[in-house]
Amino acid sequence: MKIFAKATKAKKPRTSESQKIAYAYAAILVIFALTQLFTFDKFLILVESFGLPGSDIVARLFVSTIVTSEVLALPFLLGLNLSQLMRVISMVLGWAVPLVWLKVTLWLLFTTNSVSNIGLLGTTIKLVPGWWLVFVSIALGILSAWASWGLWPGKRE
């Protein structure tokens, strides 16, 4: 009977390009997480000003979840030794990051909220919300999908 999960090596990537894409996406997520954590207290205040549905509790949950997701997506992208379940969770969190930022960007575009910074890079570097951030989120989603395809943890045909 197994009590503890066994960490296994990641499978070889399908192509060298998919490995490079995974490293590039990991570098982007590291930059996001570091800049958000560098000014975490101001980042929380910024997200509270978005007027997300719910209360300040939702904003606090969002801030902690997005930063945690960005960090926990890294082990899959870097090909670290992980249990199979953690590898899948890490891959899914890599998908969740661009989806969440896409949803927040669209929320800010379609509501009458006027904010001067979306917080993608925390409050360190101001990024004004706009349609260009929708395309950036879609591009991040493509990077995530490409990396997942190349580093897929399950059986490959």
pLDDT tens digits along 83-115: 888 999 999 999 999 999 999 889 888 886 678
**pLDDT band for position 50 (50/70/90)?**
confident
pTM of the model: 0.89
DSSP string, the chain: ---SPPPBPPPPPSSHHHHHHHHHHHHHHHHHHHHHHHTHHHHHHHHHTT--SS-HHHHHHHHHHHHHHHHHTHHHHHT--B-HHHHHHHHHHHHHHHHHHHHHHHHHHHSS---S---EEEETS----SHHHHHHHHHHHHHHHHHHHHT--S---
